[in-house]
A and B are shown apart, each in its own frame.
Chain A
Amino acid sequence: MQTPKELRFREDYNRLVQPIFRYIYYKCGDRAEAQDLTQECFVKYWEKLETVDVKGSSSYVYMIASNLLANKYNKDKIKLKFRDSIVIEDEKQDPQYLLEYQDCKEKLASLISEMPPTQREVLLMHRIDGMKYKEIAEKLSISVKAVEKRMHLALLKIKTLSNND
């Protein structure tokens, strides 16, 4: 028989484990580390679950994740780790295209790694996870305008890749 606390935790876990793992991964770029931090994050959430308003559950868990990361890493470490592990799938086979594509890939990977984590997380949560701005704003406890601003800055950076070609 499961207690109400166990039921609620399982529900929240099922709903949030993948998004939270990806969120942490977007921040640090290291799969193993992200997995460990995800584990720690939910262990902490279990301990404080009963004091959290149901409506604030998601943003609370994101907050724990964000704090764990902040405590563990300084900014430089985050940049490097992400660059080493970024993987972009190959699509076309044309050798000439592949060469350009490879170059583009590396530049993009580098750019994303250099980007401030706050911009990177919003960019990837929106484009890869498909989250709408409102959803991102709610999860990260920031305003929609802040999300828009970060996206704007991230896209401007990506734009610079084509300006340099």
Chain B
Amino acid sequence: MEDDKLATWLEDQYDQGHTDAESGLAEHLKVLDTLSIPEINADSLFDKIKTQVEVNKETKPKIYPLYRWAASIAAIFTFCVGGYFLISNNETRIAPTSSIVEHVLPDKSKVTIKGNSELIYDNDFETRSMRLEGEAFFEVEKGSSFMVNTSSGTVEVLGTSFNVFAREDYLMVACKTGKVSVSQNKEETILSPGQMVIINKGKTDTSSVEIDKVDNWVSGESSFQRTPIAIVILSLKEQFNLSIDTNSVDLNDLMYTGSYLNGDIDKALKMVFTPMGIGYKFVNEKKITLFK
């Protein structure tokens, strides 16, 4: 019998009353079950927590006056540089409006963030945890648990490199090196290099991906694998600041596998729509309409 199954089997045996076979264990489990655990008064503890939170609020400005001063200087500078980098008292928010931004996190992990994405994390970074909407490629330093929260699921690693694409109900995580854990509700998927998972409207689907393509977009080419065309269109809109009118072209269930170059709108549109048999027309410089 498999090692791990012994635990469940033994317990079942005991719980069903088949105590002869493993009577030693059953006896001890019986004793264990009578273990008395202290309880706490939840309400009075809550009041203590409230008090502590208030105290923390008051002491913060007094303890870090220098930091606040430095932060406001940084804010002025970054507004000149393109207004995407903001440090406040508690957290850092990076939201590039266009192009790509490289950033080093407090634990020396590196993250490359795509335009029209947003990454937020706590300044003290005690738990390596952050929130992402959009796309970013992470190179994580080995250490304690590193977590990326998105609206469709949570990605967790210890030390590795991986790509996260999180927009609307769609989450795609591809592993380049190391091991990555992706959870959504009570489902967990572990990825090895060359594997990816797509969580679309709650459904999980794993497949393989070329390791070189995982962070392709960093060097200028965005790749997709069996991705709903609506998501690819969203990515085009963000990449080129385009408005795309789908004009009642039926896009449901259309999956796109391929890639487009980030630097050339015309080539990119061709690479996406031509294989799908969809035509497009420029209404003005920043808007296109689709037709079949």
Contacts and interface: CB of A to CB of B under 8 A. Distances in A.
Interface of A: 10, 13-14, 17-18, 21-22, 25, 31, 34-35, 38-39, 42-43, 46-48, 51-53, 55-56, 59-60, 63-64, 67, 86-89, 91, 101, 104-105, 108, 112, 123-124, 127-128, 133-134, 137-138, 141, 143, 145, 148-149, 151-152, 154-156, 158-159, 161-163, 165
Interface string B12-48: 0000000000111101110111111111101001101
Contacts of B188: 137, 143
B149 A53 contact: yes
Contact of A51 (B3, B7, B49, B129): B129
Contact of A152 (B4, B45, B129, B183): B4
A136 to B, nearest CB: 11
B46 A13 contact: yes
B153 interface: yes
B34 A56 contact: no
A35 B38 CA distance: 10
Contacts of A138: 183, 186
Contacts of B168: none
25 contacts: A17-B45, A18-B40, A21-B39, A22-B37, A46-B49, A46-B53, A47-B90, A48-B129, A51-B131, A52-B149, A53-B154, A56-B149, A60-B127, A63-B129, A67-B127, A67-B144, A88-B34, A88-B35, A123-B32, A127-B32, A128-B32, A128-B37, A152-B4, A159-B28, A162-B25
A86 B40 CA distance: 16
Interface residues of B, number: 59
> Chain B at the A interface: mostly helix, strand, loop or mixed?
mixed
A55 B53 contact: no
Interface stretch (B105-113, B118-126, B237-245, B265-273): B118-126
Contact of B25 (A63, A123, A158): A158
Interface of B: 3-8, 10-11, 22-25, 27-29, 31-40, 42, 45-46, 48-49, 52-53, 56, 90-91, 120-122, 126-127, 129-131, 144-145, 147, 149-151, 153-154, 156, 181, 183-186, 188, 190
A156 B9 CA distance: 12
Given A34-B40, A52-B131, 16 more contacts: A10-B46, A25-B37, A25-B38, A51-B129, A53-B153, A55-B154, A63-B127, A88-B31, A108-B28, A141-B181, A143-B190, A148-B5, A155-B7, A158-B32, A161-B28, A163-B24
A92 B228 CA distance: 66
B205 to A, nearest CB: 18
B185 A55 contact: yes
B25 A17 contact: no
A22 B35 CA distance: 12
Contact of A39 (B34, B52, B130, B186): B52
